[in-house]
C-alpha cells in the first residue's frame, strides 16, 4: 500500500515538473531561439531510468496534454507536432535504454531521444503542415541543434536522477525486511 502511494506521488511530482517545464518553454520567443531545448524531456528520461518505460510514456503523454492545455495550443498543429515528437522520443529512448543501457550513459540515451524527437517532428510537419519536401532542408540544422540539446539534457537528467535517488529512497519494497516483503506480497 505505502509503496504504491509513494510511487504515485513521485510520478505525480514528475508529471507536474514536466508540465511546468513544457509550459515555461513554450513562452520562449521563437524569433530568438528557433529551436526548442526540450528541457521537459529531462523528466521523461529521468522517469525512464527511475520508474521504467510505461511510466515514462505516461509522463510524456501527460505533460504534452496538460502543457498544451495550459498554453492554449491543444489540438493545434503545434500540439500534434509535439505529440509526434514526444512519443517517438520516448519510444526511441525506451528501446535504447532496454537494448543498449550497458553501452550508453544518460547522455547517449538523451541524444537518441533528441534526434528521434526532431526527426519525428519534421516528418509530422511535412505530412500535416507543409507538404513540401523543401522542409527537409531544415534537417541538418535540427540535427546539429539536437546534438547540443541532447547533450545538455542528458547532463541535466544525470544530475536529476542522482539527486532524485538521494533525496528519495529508490522504492519502499527494497528497504523492507523479508517479513515486510512477505506481508507486501500477501497484500497484493
Partner 1 sequence: MPRCGYPAMVVDVMNLKAYIRPADWVLIAFLLVTAVLSFFLIPRWLMSGATEVEILAGDRLVGRYPLNHDQRIEVPGPLGVSEIVIEGGHVRFQSSPCPHKTCKAMGNLGTEGGILVCLPNEIVVRVGNGQPDGLDAVSR
Site for partner 1 in 82-101 (CB under 8 A): 100
Contact 45, 157 (CB under 8 A): yes
To partner 1, the closest distance from the beta carbon of 142 in angstroms equals 9
Q: Which residue in the set 163, 168, 170, 173 belongs to the binding site for partner 1 (CB under 8 A)? A: 163
**Contact flag: residue 39 with partner 1 (CB under 8 A):** no
Min dist. Cβ of residue 140 to partner 1 (A): 4
Give buried/exposed letters for 26-55 (b at 16+ CB in 10 A, else e): beeeeeeeebbbbbbbbbbbbbbbbbebeb
Question: Which of 6, 104, 164, 176 is in the footprint of partner 1 by CB under 8 A?
Answer: 104
Closest distance to partner 1 from the beta carbon of 46 (Å): 13
| Dihedral sign (CA 73, 78, 83, 86) | negative
Rounded Cα–Cα distance for residues 92 and 23 (Å): 23
- Please compute, for residue 2, the number of CA atoms within 13 A of its CA located in the half-sphere on the CB side: 10
What does the binding site for partner 1 look like in residue numbers (CB under 8 A)?
30, 76-78, 100, 103-108, 111-112, 115, 130-134, 136-137, 139-140, 143-144, 146-147, 151, 155, 158-159, 162-163, 166
Amino acid at each position: 500500500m505505502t509503496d504504491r502511494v509513494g510511487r504515485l506521488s513521485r510520478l505525480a511530482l514528475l508529471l507536474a515538473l514536466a508540465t511546468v517545464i513544457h509550459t515555461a518553454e513554450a513562452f520562449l520567443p521563437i524569433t530568438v531561439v528557433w529551436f526548442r531545448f526540450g528541457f521537459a524531456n529531462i523528466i521523461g528520461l529521468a522517469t525512464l531510468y527511475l520508474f521504467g518505460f510505461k511510466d515514462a510514456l505516461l509522463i510524456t503523454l501527460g505533460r504534452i496534454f496538460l502543457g498544451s492545455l495550459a498554453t492554449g495550443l491543444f489540438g493545434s498543429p503545434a500540439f500534434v507536432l509535439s505529440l509526434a515528437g514526444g512519443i517517438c522520443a520516448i519510444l526511441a529512448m525506451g528501446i535504447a535504454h532496454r537494448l543498449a543501457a550497458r553501452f550508453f550513459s544518460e547522455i547517449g540515451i538523451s541524444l537518441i531521444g533528441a534526434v528521434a524527437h526532431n526527426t519525428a517532428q519534421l516528418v509530422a510537419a511535412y505530412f500535416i503542415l507543409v507538404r513540401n519536401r523543401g522542409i527537409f532542408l531544415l534537417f541538418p540544422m535540427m540535427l546539429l541543434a539536437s546534438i547540443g540539446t541532447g547533450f545538455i539534457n542528458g547532463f541535466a537528467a544525470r544530475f536529476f536522477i542522482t539527486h532524485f535517488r538521494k533525496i528519495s529512497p529508490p522504492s519502499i519494497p527494497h528497504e523492507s525486511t523479508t517479513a515486510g516483503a512477505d506481508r507486501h506480497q500477501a497484500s497484493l
